[in-house]
Chain A
């Protein structure tokens, strides 16, 4: 038996190939058409006309990190719901109850996070 999944996903592989070729061609084309006259001033970082002061890649507020962690939790939660949604018809009431318990636990955590003020953006 030929691996059916490879046959099914062949169009994706082909589209990926074409997309990569296009994404490479565009800058290469521009590289050949455009002038090349680099100067120090031109290659300096843009800072509204000022000379940049200090490092650009410096530390940043932890609140962004908090958003990322929250996102992962929600992401995993929703991804677990996806197979449930697809097989919802066949699962019957049993599936509904199982999901409701799962969601109840999650929503309790969600409410708690909200009450603790983690969602505030100072």
Chain B
């Protein structure tokens, strides 16, 4: 069965237009795996997809990569 994409809300005021970001994960979000695609949402920013590039801090944080900046 295909896994439903996880949605992660981030605070873009901490990342701006960065294309590689490190995001703390709530416990319920920690089922994501490296290489997986996730939906990224933010307050009044169009949702988009990022790829989980790495999991760090014993899986408490994810390094996410976007294809481009949010407004590109």
Q: Say if A and B assemble together.
A: no
Measuring CB to CB, which residues of chain A are less than 8 angstroms from any residue of chain B? none
